[in-house]
Every structure is written in C-alpha cells, then in structure tokens.
Structure 1
Amino acid sequence: MLSLNVDQALAEPPYAQLRSQIVGAVSAGSLIAGAKLPTVRALADQLGVAPGTVARAYKELEADGVIETRGRAGTFVSFAQDPLRSQAQRAAAAYATQVRGLGITDDDAVQLVADALRATR
C-alpha cells in the first residue's frame, strides 16, 4: 500500500510534496507500472488536504508522463518505459533549445549543467 503524507509545516507546498513522494515511489519500485492510484477525492480525504491539491499533483505527474488517467477507470502509474527518464529527456531538450537560442556554446552549456547538478547535491 502506498504511504503518502503532507507536512503543513514544510515550506514545500503540499501538492509538490505529493508529487515528489509519488515520483520517489515510482523510482524506488514501490509503485510499479499499472498500479492504480487513489482517486483525487479519496486521497485528499485521507491526507486532510483540498482535492485541488491532489488534482494539481496528479496533473503535473500526468504532464511528466509518470501517471496516466484512463477516464472513469482511474489514475495509474504509466506504462511508459521509464517515465522519469522521459521527463529528464524532455527537460534536457528544453534546456538545449533555450541555450541554443541564447547563443551559448555546447561546452558552456554542459558546464552550466554540471555546475547546477553540483549545487543541488
């Protein structure tokens, strides 16, 4: 069973906490492809948050390819090969487009990414 929680004392917004916990569970393998997630209303009730909070987390996760909604059947972990890698590839493509438009050299662009990764450790 999926164990999610929201800590109102954290600076991170509740929807972002849910989003990161679900991404972490998919990454760790505790949520596998095809696993059904609770409905927005059920999860909101369980966590004591507004349904819009869960809906926003689900919407962002769906946009990132981590989960998919199948109408009345519910919301499920995506069957994409690796939704987290797909999300990273989309972010990398967006970054490449942006730095190319700024006239940044490839070497400088790679260095900027390396610096950013080091800064977020």
Structure 2
Amino acid sequence: MSPQTLTITIDPDAADAPFEQVRTRIADLARDGGLPVGYKLPTVRGLAEDLGLAANTVAKAYRALESDGVIETRGRNGSFIAAAGDAADKEAAGAADTYARRAKRLGLDRAAALAAVQDALTAAYGPQA
C-alpha cells in the first residue's frame, strides 16, 4: 500500500462490530506509517457513505481514535492523524501506574499482580505463541 491511502473494507460477517473494524484499521495504518502524521481523514459523513455505514458508526470510531490519541480533531478543519506513540505510551504508563498502586492497596504481592496482568493480556490479545 502506498503512503497516504486510506483503504477500509468492512466485513459484515466479522466478530468485530463495524465501528471497531474502522477504528482498528485506522489505528493500524497510523501505527505502521500507512497514514503519516498530519494526514487528513475523510469527514465522518464521507467515510460513512464510502463504507455504506451510518454516520454515527464512523463517528463512534473517530471518537475512540481521538480518545486513544491516534487522531486529533481540529474543529471545522477536520480530523488528522496525530503524532504516533507518545499519547498511547503515556496513557499506557499511566494505566500501569494506577493498576500497580491499586494492586498494592489490595494487598496483592508482585507475583499475583503480574499474574492478573498476564490473564488480562491473554484475554485481550489471545495466548502467547
């Protein structure tokens, strides 16, 4: 795929909801460099029309991407790919810190706290190969 090309295909038979398919595809393209920082995304209505989805479905994906720091919305100017990594890294570090402090307050030792994280990662990502 050439840079700066947004290609999304919605699989109606997929386990993931359409908004999640849109969110995942844009996040993957941003992370892998297929969409560079500053790339202007289509409007919510435009992308919804292209994909045959309701505007609310694409809007939900854009809100999740913005919340994750993948895109930034500049009011009437549109939505753009944000600087990669920094926001996600900071948010992940903050979540890890919050979890570690909470686990300690709950009286979990390090091994139990790590086991809980491993279980959660397995549930989210599947088993390690």
Q: Same fold judged by TM-score > 0.5? A: yes
Aligned equivalents of 1:116, 1:2: Cα separation in 2: 31
Structure 2 counterpart SS, 1:68: strand
| Residue 70 (structure 1) aligned with residue 74 (structure 2) | yes
TM norm structure 1: 0.84
Distance 1:60 1:101, change over 3 A: farther
Aligned equivalents of 1:75, 1:65: Cα separation in 2: 12
Could you tell me whether the CA contact under 8 Å between 2:30 and 2:84 is conserved in 1? no
Larger mean Cα displacement after TM superposition, 67-76 or 91-100: 91-100
Structure 2, unmatched stretches of 5+, are none
| Residue 113 (structure 1) aligned with residue 85 (structure 2) | no
Aligned length: 121
Percent identity among equivalent residues? 45
TM norm structure 2: 0.80
**Matching residue's letter, 1:111:** A
Structure 1, unmatched stretches of 5+, are none
| Residue 42 (structure 1) aligned with residue 43 (structure 2) | no
Residues 1-121 of structure 1: matches in 2 within 5 Å?
1-79=5-83, 81-118=85-122, 120=126, 121=128
Aligned equivalents of 2:35, 2:24: Cα separation in 1: 13
Distance 1:63 1:49, change over 3 A: same
Could you tell me whether the CA contact under 8 Å between 1:65 and 1:86 is conserved in 2? no
Q: Moved runs in structure 1, 4+ residues, more than 4 A? A: none
